Amino acid sequence: MQFRIDRGVLAEAVGWAARVLPTRTPVPVLGGLLLEATDGRLSVSGFDLETAARIETEAETTADGQVVVLGRRLLDICRVLPDGPVSCGLEGTRFTVEAGGTSFGLSTLPREDYPTLPAAPQPYASVDAAAFATAVGQVVLAAGRDDTLPALTGVQLCLDGDTMTLAASDRYRYAVRQLEWKREAAADDRVEALLPARRLFDVARSLARSGRVRIGLAGGLIGFDGGDIRATVRLLEGRLPRYGSLFDMAGAAVAEVACEALTEAVRRVAVVAEANSPVRLDFTSGGSVLLRAGYGDDVAAQRVPAALSGAEEVNVAFNPGYLLDALGSFESPRVRMELLGAGQRALLTGLGRVEAGDGGGAHAVHQHLLIAVRQLV
């Protein structure tokens, strides 16, 4: 096995495939990357039995072959190599990497012990890659991080009609994002799947420049295909709680405020808030919202223009981190807040322009539900 490739191209390919490698594993071969050189192409694959990542790129191959090497070690080497062409080859049980007078030797792992990569499900849906990456980024921040509740660490993907819906919740907030998708093959009218949020985020971000991403589901796996990048992810069991009734905000007061101004105000006043202390928002029909945080002599306050309808005043308080996450996920200049009062639900919706650009289409809806804190500061 011998091939020659640009350092930047090799580093990008190895970096993408190495994303799926476990930090620690009792099975050394699962920390390896599979490199395959053939017919002017180099493919790099990683697989941790839950997620498989494969990327192909052009390379000058002089001898075809396969090799498995420690992925993170190879990534470290790629990062320190000088710019320019890199020559790689297999010499017995040693994999060599040379560039600009610098050479490295790596021991190899048994190829026969490397697990077989799962076959990618047949794609039957496609979605704009940039819009998909944006949408995933807007919902994953609401996914749980408690691995003892695995369903809440996932993102629910639903394909229904011509609308794709992504949703995530950690019980204290619920993010929902819709965008258009296109059917590429025969499929059920409605399809649902629960994906690991962190894996989905990495895949979507890496595919963002692929133009369109093709998606397939089969046998407990979901496959993503964009350009030279392919990923297969094992689905989580279960599903998220349904959010239909939660998003019914009948009787709520409605406030509209500039998203950037509110974000900056929350960030400023939260400086004096102790851990887990809320930020209070006092909306009035006079055209403003007063933000306050802190206790005793350590307090902060700022007033921001806001329009309130449906009530003379509404007082709510939120975890500042959750509120900043929600506000930061909107691309629109203004946000609409439906408020039921202290300790109750608040529904945020972006106003002003379609989310995620043209790729989102008419179905690009983004909403974020927060549970207000009962105790007001």
Residue 163 class from Cβ within 10 Å (0-12 exposed, 13-18 middle, 19+ buried)?
middle
From the list 366, 291, 359, the residue with the least C-alpha distance to 328 is 366
Q: Considering only CA atoms, give the Rg of the chain.
A: 25
Domain with CATH 3.10.150.10 in the chain: 2-113, 125-234, 253-371
Q: How far is CA 3 from the centre of its chain?
A: 34
Compute φ and ψ for 24, nearest 5 degrees: -135, 140
pLDDT at 198: 94
Instruction: Tell me what pLDDT residue 364 has.
Output: 66
In CATH, which of 3.10.150.10, 1.10.600.10, 3.40.710.10, 3.40.50.720 is domain 125-234?
A: 3.10.150.10
pLDDT for res 362: 47
With H, G, I as helix, E, B as strand and everything else as coil, classify residue 46.
strand
- pLDDT value for 357: 45
Q: What is the pLDDT of residue 355?
A: 47
User: Could you tell me if 71 and 21 are in contact, meaning their C-beta atoms sit under 8 angstroms apart?
Assistant: yes
pLDDT for residue 275: 77
Question: How many Å from the N-terminal Cα to the C-terminal Cα in the chain?
Answer: 67
Task: Report whether 43 contacts 55 (CB < 8 A).
Answer: yes
Q: Provide the 8-state DSSP code for 235.
A: P
Collapse the DSSP code of 349 into the 3-class scheme (helix H, G, I; strand E, B; otherwise coil) and give the result.
Answer: strand
**Measured between alpha carbons, how far is 33 from 55 in angstroms, rounded to an integer?**
11
Query: Is residue 26 classed as helix, strand or coil in its secondary structure?
Result: coil
Instruction: Identify the residue whose tokens are 């990618």.
Output: 120
Assess contact for 357 and 130: CB atoms under 8 A.
Answer: yes
d(CA 165, CA 117): 29
Superfamily of domain 2-113: DNA Polymerase III, subunit A, domain 2 (3.10.150.10)
pLDDT at 273: 87
Block means of pLDDT (10 residues each) for the chain, 377 residues, are: 96 94 88 96 95 95 96 96 96 95 95 93 92 96 94 95 94 95 77 94 92 92 93 95 92 96 96 88 94 91 96 94 96 95 94 54 78 74
CA atoms within 13 A on the CB side of 320: 24
The 10 Å Cβ neighbour count of residue 15 is 17
3-class secondary structure, 277: coil
The whole model's pTM is what?
0.89
What pLDDT is recorded for position 300? 95
Beta bridge partners of 204: none
For residue 333, give the nearest of 258, 265, 267 by alpha carbon: 258
d(CA 112, CA 341): 62
Superfamily designation of domain 253-371: DNA Polymerase III, subunit A, domain 2 (3.10.150.10)
Q: Which residues contact 271 (CB under 8 A, 6 or more apart)?
A: 293, 300
**Cβ of 184: how many Cβ atoms within 10 Å?**
15
- Nearest alpha carbon to residue 162 among 364, 366, 367: 364
